């Protein structure tokens, strides 16, 4: 399987730089996963395609202002850290820029010493392990000093930090937003619940994989980074009953999908309360055991996420849908429009 099979040409002006004022006003391209048939809608009308008894699974991770800009305590050289994984006891895995300025024992200072990071280990590909030194509550300090880690293709400054989080974001720890969920408002979720659709949550903290392009020509050589996930007993029970009664499980976003498929593959098609790390890689030929449908955004050319959506339908259907979206000036990527693959 060649990486170029998942490429497409996207005009730069279609990369959404800012979120729409109203979350649910985005366009929605509905696609039949078998036939590839397409229908143009507005996101708030997703309700037309949901039925009583459906289970809608959302990722309740919360993006933290994980981008810290500071300086080396000794030389005052500029250093940027992007927090990726909480290793416990104030220790974090981070992406450092430029890594070459750091050595084991280096102290990096942020906010005139309000927060300090001591380098414990230097890994490859810009990754370092650090220990944070501070007085007070870590997330409060981070909220004061950190910036939202917007993807590299977004060049506009985000005026309102909350817009790079879902309205139901709860569990802090992500370096990037589960962007399919950005389209939901509390009012729309209430409307969906009132229809008899069951809304439930999983957690997957989005990490480094989101910032890494596929560099290998042969897709199968690509190494996915590991991300922390968690499923509660309540969610597992809801999903098992839905499977038993042959009701649809609809994943909101590729992160929810990766969590659901990780758990279902681990327990032979069943769901259980669990947590751990997943490096699941979903590409055409993958056997889905958890989800029936997917709400998702439009993804980067040659990315693992284009492969994931192709696996649920087909490469031809997806690339045709993307072509149609480009023709109709859909907005792409994190702050862009949505697809419902049903």
> Could you report the per-residue pLDDT of 96-126, keeping only the tens digit for each?
999 999 999 999 999 999 999 999 999 988 9
> Does residue 315 share a domain with residue 193?
yes
More confident residue, 208 or 61: 61
Token pair listed for 101: 């300025």
> Does residue 240 share a domain with residue 180?
yes
> Does residue 104 share a domain with residue 215?
no
> Does residue 264 share a domain with residue 196?
yes
> Does residue 57 share a domain with residue 72?
no
In a domain, 155, yes or no: no
pLDDT at 215: 83
> Does residue 223 share a domain with residue 115?
no
Residues in contact with 187: Cβ distance below 8 Å, sequence separation at least 6, in sequence order:
24
**pLDDT confidence of 84, banded at 50, 70, 90?**
confident
In a domain, 212, yes or no: yes
Q: What percent of the chain has pLDDT over 70?
A: 99
Query: Can you tell me the mean pLDDT for 19-27?
Result: 96
pLDDT at 260: 98
The residue among 145, 174, 203 that closes a domain is 145
pLDDT at 211: 60
In a domain, 209, yes or no: yes
Query: Can you tell me the mean pLDDT for 27-45?
Result: 98
Q: Give the count of beta carbons closer than 10 Å to the beta carbon of residue 121.
A: 11
Statement: residue 18 has pLDDT above 90: yes
> Does residue 80 share a domain with residue 222?
no
Domain count, the chain: 2
Which structural domain, as residue segments, surrounds residue 129?
67-145
Which 8-state DSSP code applies to residue 175? S
The residue among 111, 145, 179 that closes a domain is 145
> Could you report the per-residue pLDDT of 175-215, keeping only the tens digit for each?
899 999 999 999 999 999 999 999 999 999 997 666 667 88
> Does residue 135 share a domain with residue 36?
no
Domain of residue 126, CATH code: 2.40.10.240
**pLDDT confidence of 226, banded at 50, 70, 90?**
confident
pLDDT at 149: 87
In a domain, 150, yes or no: no
Please, what is the average pLDDT of the chain?
95
pLDDT at 152: 83
The 3-state DSSP class for residue 341 equals strand
> Does residue 224 share a domain with residue 76?
no
Please state, in angstroms and rounded to a whole number, the distance separating the CA atoms of residues 206 and 226: 9
In a domain, 152, yes or no: no
Total count of residues recorded for the chain: 342
Please state, in angstroms and rounded to a whole number, the distance separating the CA atoms of residues 93 and 86: 7
pLDDT at 212: 67
The residue among 145, 169, 198 that closes a domain is 145
> Does residue 72 share a domain with residue 54?
no
Which 8-state DSSP code applies to residue 268? T
> Does residue 197 share a domain with residue 141?
no
> Does residue 129 share a domain with residue 105?
yes
Task: Give percent helix, percent strand, percent coil of the chain, each to the nearest 5.
Answer: 30, 30, 40
């Amino acid at each position: 399987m060649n990486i170029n099979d998942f490429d497409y040409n996207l005009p730069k002006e279609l990369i959404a730089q800012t979120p729409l004022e109203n979350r649910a006003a985005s366009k929605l391209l509905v696609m039949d996963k078998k036939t590839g048939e397409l229908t143009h809608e507005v996101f708030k009308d997703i309700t037309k395609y949901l039925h009583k008894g459906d289970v809608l699974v959302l990722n309740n991770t919360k993006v933290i202002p994980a981008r810290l800009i500071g300086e080396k305590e000794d030389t005052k050289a500029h250093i940027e850290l992007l927090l990726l994984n909480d290793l416990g006891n104030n220790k974090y895995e981070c992406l450092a820029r430029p890594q070459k300025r750091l050595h084991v024992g280096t102290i990096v200072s942020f906010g005139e010493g309000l927060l300090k990071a001591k380098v414990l280990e230097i890994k490859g590909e810009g990754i370092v392990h650090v220990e944070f030194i501070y007085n007070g509550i870590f997330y409060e300090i981070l909220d004061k000093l950190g910036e939202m880690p917007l993807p590299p293709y977004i060049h506009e400054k985000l005026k309102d930090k909350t817009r790079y989080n879902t309205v139901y974001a709860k569990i802090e720890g992500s370096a990037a937003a589960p962007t399919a969920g950005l389209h939901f408002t509390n009012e729309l979720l209430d409307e969906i619940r009132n229809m008899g659709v069951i809304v439930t949550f999983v957690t997957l903290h989005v990490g480094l994989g989101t910032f890494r392009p596929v560099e290998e020509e042969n897709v199968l050589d690509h190494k996915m980074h590991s991300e922390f996930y968690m499923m509660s007993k309540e969610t597992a029970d809801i999903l098992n009953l839905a499977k038993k009664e042959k009701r649809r499980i609809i994943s909101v976003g590729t992160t929810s999908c990766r969590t659901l498929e990780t758990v279902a593959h681990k327990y032979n098609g069943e769901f259980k309360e669990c947590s751990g790390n997943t490096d699941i890689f979903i590409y055409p030929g993958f056997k889905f055991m958890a989800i029936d449908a997917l709400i998702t955004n439009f993804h980067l050319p040659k990315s693992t996420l284009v492969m994931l959506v192709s696996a649920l339908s087909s490469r031809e259907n997806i690339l045709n849908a993307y072509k149609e979206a480009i023709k109709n000036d859909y907005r792409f990527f994190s702050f862009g429009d949505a697809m419902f693959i049903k």
